[in-house]
Amino acid sequence: MKTITETFDVFTYDELAKPAQDAVINQIIQDWIECPDCIPDFEEIVLQYDKACQKSEEMQTPWFLGEYIWEYCEKFVLSEAKQNYYLASGKWYCPIDE
């Protein structure tokens, strides 16, 4: 048997470069669009998310849904982003042992 240990840097959201922060935000919003069950189950978040969806439908611009979610849910998206660690690229890091 051979054991290989790899080390790499992980970052909080605030430590990431701006392009990586943007990637994190875009991924969270995309996850929420693709899987509404992934949205934290807090009444205020769901209410604001529903408003964003409603605006998208009213304006008949589903391609802007992500922007509407950001407009209505910015503080919630940022809160979720700040709860995790990321690689320098902005890809989410999932620790195995913590």
In percent, the amount of the chain with pLDDT more than 70 equals: 96
**How many helices (DSSP H) and strands (DSSP E) are in the chain?**
3, 3
List the one residue out of 40, 35, 21, 41 whose CA is nearest residue 80: 40
Token pair of 62 as six digits: 């589903």
Which pTM does this prediction carry? Answer: 0.85
Please determine, for residue 96, whether its predicted confidence score (pLDDT) is greater than 70: no
51 or 5, which is more confident: 51
44 or 94, which is more confident: 44
Cα separation, 3 vs 71, in Å, equals 48
